[in-house]
Structure 1
C-alpha cells in the first residue's frame, strides 16, 4: 500500500513538473515567435521604404535579432525550440551578411553552434570529433529532423554561399554529397547536383523568415554556374561557358548579376568572332547596370575589331566619364527582394579577363593614342593634354622622373610627352607643344651623363639603358623643337635645335 502511494505521488509530481515545463516552453515559443516576426516585419518595411538611414535601421534590426538569438541560446537545447532556433539563426546570418556585405568566420561559428545544439536536443550521435562535416551529415540525414528539412536545407545553402566566398570549395562539395548518388569531385558536377536540388516545403509558416528559403537554392546555383562558366571561359571553352552563364541567368538573378552575365556572354561571343551578337549582349549589360564598366571596355574592343573607330573612341570616352565621376549606387526597384544575391558571393574579377577595366590613366592614354592613330587629331590633342594634367596631379613621382615606366600598358612618361608634342604640332597648337617639349628636355637633362663608355661585348645594365633612353628621348625632343621653330619661320633657332 505504501509503495503504491509513494509511486503514485512521485508519478504525479514528475507529470506535474513536465506539464509545467511544457507550458513554459509553449509560452516562450509563442513570445519569441512574435518577437522574431515583429523584427522581420520592421526589416522588410525598412528595405521597401529605402530611407536615408536605411543602414542604421538595418543594424538596429540585426541587433534585436541577435538579442533574441542569445535568449534562446542561453537555455538548454530542447526539441520544442528547434524550428524557431534554426530560423532565428538563419535570419540573423542573412541580416548580418546584408549589413556587412561580406562573409565572416563568425557566421560559420554561429551556424555550427546551432547545429550542435539541435543535434544535442534530439540526442543524436555526432561522434567525438564534432567536426563541421559530421554535424552537417548528421543534421541532413537524421530521420527525426525530417520535419525541419526546409530550414535545415536552407541553412545548408547559406553555409554553402559563405564557404564559397571563403574559397572553401571542397567543403561545399562535401556538403552537397548527401544530395547525390555519385561522387561530387568538382564544381562542374556540383552544378548538376544543384540543378536537381529541391528544398522541401516549409513546415512552420508561422515563424517568419527574412528571405524566402526556396530562393536559396537558386542563389547557390547561380553563383556556382557563373563561377564554373568563368573557369570554362579561361580554358577557352566558350560554348560550355555560354551554357553555364545562361543557367546562371535563369536562376535568382538581380539586375547587377544579369549585367555581369551579359558582359561575360558578350565577351565569349567576341572571342568566337560573333561580333554583332557580342555587341548586343554588351549593350544589354550596360542597360541593366550602367556601372558595369567592363561592358563599356569590351564594347570598345568589339568596335575596334569591326573597324568602327569613331564608335570605339566614343565608348572609351563614355567609360572615362563613368570612372572619373562615379555616381552613387542606384537601388533597383526589385533589390529589396534580394536581401542576399549571388553576385555578392562571386570573387571573379581578378581571374576573369571579361571583367578587366583599365585604370583612369591607362584609359586616357588609350583615348589619346587611338584618336591620334585614327587621324582624329584635334580630339587626340585634347585627350593628350587631359592625360598630361592628370599625370601631373596624380602621379608627381613618375612625372619627376620621365625615364621611369608607368603602370602597364602605359609607355614611359617621356614617350607620352613626345606623342603629345607631335599631336599638338599636327593640331597647330605650337605654343602648347613647345611647353610640353621643353618640359621633357628639362626633366631629362640631369639624367644624361656628360660622357658614356659602352662595351658592346657586354650586356647593357639597367642604368646605362635608362641613360641611353634619355639621350634618345631628349634628341627626339630637340628634333620636334627644331620642327616647330621651322614652322614658325625661325630658321636660325631651328638650326640650333637641330644641332642639339
Structure 2
C-alpha cells in the first residue's frame, strides 16, 4: 500500500512539474504567475497528503523534492522569500531527523542541518537533501546571513575538498565552498524537479559574489568589491543582473577616480538592459566631474524621458529559471548604486545645472515645469539622490534667480510673492541662535523661514531696481534687512573669516574659526541687501544714505564681492580721497586673504543668491587700476 502511494504521489508531482514546463512560453508574465500560484496550491495539497503519514526512509526523498518544488513556485510567484519558507524547511527537516536520528530534539534551522548532516543520511536521500540545502542557502543569502550559509556548505563539503578554503578571506571562503559543493547527478531520478541543483548552485555562486561585492562597495573597499563583481559577472545570471553588476563596477571605478573605465561599464549595462537607468544617472555625474556640461545635460534629459516612458523588458533580461539572483539579492534595496532617482528629481537636477551654467532660458523652462508639478502637491520629495534634500521654497527662489538672469523681472517678483505668502505668517518676532549647540527642528525651521523670506525680498529689490523703480527697490531691500536683523547669533565661539559681528565702520576681518552655514548665508544676504540698497540710494541722489549702506555692507561681510571697492570708488567721487586712500591701501594688502575667504564662503551659499554676486571677484582689474591711479593723484596733490 505504501509503495502504491509513493508511486501515485511521484506521478502527481511529475504531472505538476510537466504542466509548468509546458507553460514556459509564458515566462515572466502575469499569466505565468497565475499558473505558478495554481501549481503551488496543487503541490501544497500533495505535500499535506505525504506529511499526513509518518515519514519513512522510502518516502523522504519524494517529500523533500515536493517541498523543494513547492517552495520554488511560491518564491517565484510572490517575487521574494518569506519566513514561512524557513518554517516549511524546519518542519520537514524535523521529520527527516526523526527517521535518521531518533530522539534528537532541536529547533532552529541551523541546528537541524548540523544534527542531520553529522548524524548521517542515506545515499538515496543525498540528492533531494542537497537540493533543499541549496534552497536554504538561497533563503539565508536573501537575509544576508552569510555566516550561516558558510557553515551550511562547510557541512556539505566532501572530505576530499576539506582544504578548499584554507588561507582565504571570509568572503572568498564562501565562494570556494560553493564552487566545491558537489551536487548529485539528477539525470536518473524519477522524481522531477523544477530547477536542477547544478543550476541552483551556479545561481548561489553569482548571488554570493554579487551580495558580498555590494557589501564591500558600501564599506568603500572598492578594489575588493571589483574582484567580487568580476566573479559575479562571469557566473550564471540574467542580463538584468549582469547590467546591475556592471553598474556597480562602474560605480567602484568612479570612486577610484577612473571615470573612463566607469563610463565603459555603464555603457555595457545600458546595452544589456536599457531600463538600468542608474547607469545613465551615474554617467551624468561623471560628465559633471569632467566639466562636460553638454554631455551631462544630454544624459539627464535622456534619463528624464526614459523614466516617464512605460517600462519595457528587454529580451536579454528575462530569466530562464525560477530562482535567480534577482530573487536572492535585491540590489536596489541594498545600494543606491543601482537606483535611479524619480523623474521629478531628475527634472530638478537639469534645471539646477542649467542655472549654474548661466543657461537661463533652459533653466527657467525646467524650473517652471517643476513649479507646475508642485502646485498639485503630489510630488513633494525633490531629493536628487544622493544629494541633500532641497526644500520647496528654495526651488521657487532658484526659479526667481533664473527669471532675473533672463531679465523677466516681473515674473521673478511674482514667484517671490509665492515664497512670501508661504512664510510671512510663520516668521518669529526674533530669533537667538547659539551655533555651538545643536539647533532644534523648530529653531532650524524658523531660521530657514527668515532666510527664504529675506532672499525673496532681495530678489524683489533687485528686480525693482533693474526696472528703474528705485523707491520700491529700497523698500524691498529694507524689508530684507529688517528680517535679517531679527536673527542674533550668540555665544557661538565662532569668529567668522567672512562675517563680522563687530560695530563701527571699520573693515573687520577675523581669521579664527568658521561660521555655520546658516550664519554664512545670513551674512551674505545682509551684505547683498546693504550693497543693493546703497546703489538705489545713489540713483536717487541720496549720497549720505548710500555711503552708510556701503559701509554696513562691508561690515556685514568684508569678503563680499565688490563691497570694499564700491565704497572706495564712492568716497573718491565724494572728494573724500584721504579716507578712500586708507580703505584702498588696506584692501590691497588684504586682497588675497579676502579672495580666499570668499572662496570658502561661496561653498556654503545657495544657488539662488547668484544674481547678487559679482563672480569676477573682487572687481574688474580695470576698476582696480582706475582706483590706484586716483590714489596716486591724491598722493601727488598731497605733496604739492
TM-score range, shorter chain: 0.7 to 0.9
Match 1:481 to one of 460, 464, 468: 460
In the superposition, relative to structure 1, how do residues 303 and 68 fare at CA in structure 2: closer, same or farther (>3 Å)?
A: same
Q: Deviations over 1:332-361 (max 9, x none)?
A: 467352211112112454543523544554
* Range that drifts further, 218-227 or 329-338: 329-338
Q: Which residue of 2 aligns with 1:343?
A: 326
Normalised TM-score (structure 1): 0.83
Whole-angstrom CA distance in 2 between matches of 1:338 and 1:252:
11
CA positional deviation for 1:453: 7.3
- Other-structure match for 1:48: 25
Which residue of the partner structure matches residue 409 of structure 1?
A: 388
Flag structure 1 segments of 5+ consecutive residues without an equivalent: 1-23, 400-405
**What displacement does 1:247 show?**
0.9
User: Does 1:113 pair with 2:91?
Assistant: yes
What are the superposed Cα offsets for residues 219-243 of structure 1, whole Å, 9 maximum, x if unpaired?
1111111121122223333222111
Q: Report the Cα distance in structure 2 between the residues aligned to 1:168 and 1:468, rounded to whole angstroms.
A: 45
Aligned pairs, number: 468
Correspondence 1:435 to 2:414: yes
Match of 2:127 among 150, 163, 166: 150
Q: 2:404 is matched with which residue: 425, 431, 444?
A: 425
Kindly tell me: are residues 230 and 316 of structure 1, through their superposed partners in 2, closer, same or farther at Cα, counting changes over 3 Å?
A: same
Distance in 2 (alpha carbons) for counterparts of 1:364 and 1:257 = 27
Please say if 1:85 is aligned against 2:63.
yes
**Which residue does the alignment assign to 1:198?**
182
> Partner of 1:403 in structure 2?
none
- Which of 366, 380, 401 aligns to 1:383? It is 366
Tell me the equivalent position of 2:149: 172
Aligned runs of 1:207-222 on 2, under 5 Å?
207-222=191-206
- Inter-partner Cα distance in structure 1 for 2:134 and 2:434: 66
* Greater mean alpha carbon deviation, residues 148-157 or residues 359-368: 359-368
Assess if the C-alpha contact under 8 Å between 1:361 and 1:391 holds in 2: no
Q: Cα RMSD between the aligned structures?
A: 3.2
- How far off its partner does 1:328 sit? 4.4
Return closer, same or farther for 1:253/1:415 CA change in 2, 3 Å cut-off: same
More divergent stretch after superposition (49-58 vs 454-463): 454-463
Look up the match of 2:351: 368
Q: Residue 310 of structure 1: CA displacement? A: 1.5
- The partner residue of 2:220 within 224, 229, 236 is 236
User: Which position in structure 2 is the counterpart of 1:402?
Assistant: none
Q: Distance in 2 between matches of 1:66 and 1:389?
A: 52
Structure (1 or 2) with the larger CA radius of gyration: 2
Residue in structure 2 matched with residue 392 of structure 1 by the alignment:
375
Secondary structure of 2:23's counterpart equals helix
1:36 Cα shift?
1.2
Q: Give, in whole Å, the separation in 1 of the partners of 2:340 and 2:376.
A: 22
Partners of 1:267 and 1:407 in 2: CA distance:
13
1:21-73 deviations in Å (ceiling 9; x for gaps) = xxx23322332222111111211232423565332222111111111111111
2: CA distance between counterparts of 1:457 and 1:418?
25
| CA shift digits 1:87-145 (9 cap, x unpaired) | 11110110010111221222122222222333434x43462336533432354456652
Q: Report the equivalent of 2:426.
A: 447
d(CA) in 1 for partners of 2:15, 2:476: 82
In 2, distance between residues paired with 1:229 and 1:458?
A: 40
Could you tell me which residue of structure 2 aligns to residue 69 of structure 1? 47
Alignment of 1:100-139 (within 5 A): 100-121=78-99, 123-125=100-102, 127-129=104-106, 131-139=108-116
Classify 1:461/1:81 alpha carbon distance in 2 versus 1 (closer, same or farther; 3 Å): closer
Q: Tell me, what secondary structure is at the counterpart of 1:79?
A: coil
Structure 2: 5+ residue stretches without partners: 480-640
Matches within 5 A, 1:28-47: 28-47=5-24
Q: Per-residue displacement from partner, 1:389-433 (whole Å, max 9, x unpaired)?
A: 23332369899xxxxxx9961333333222111102223444432
Q: Distance in 2 between matches of 1:350 and 1:52?
A: 23
Task: Report if aligned partners of 1:362, 1:409 keep a CA contact under 8 Å in 2.
Answer: no
Query: Taking CA–CA contacts closer than 8 Å with sequence separation of 6 or more, which of the two structures ends up with the larger relative contact order?
Result: 1
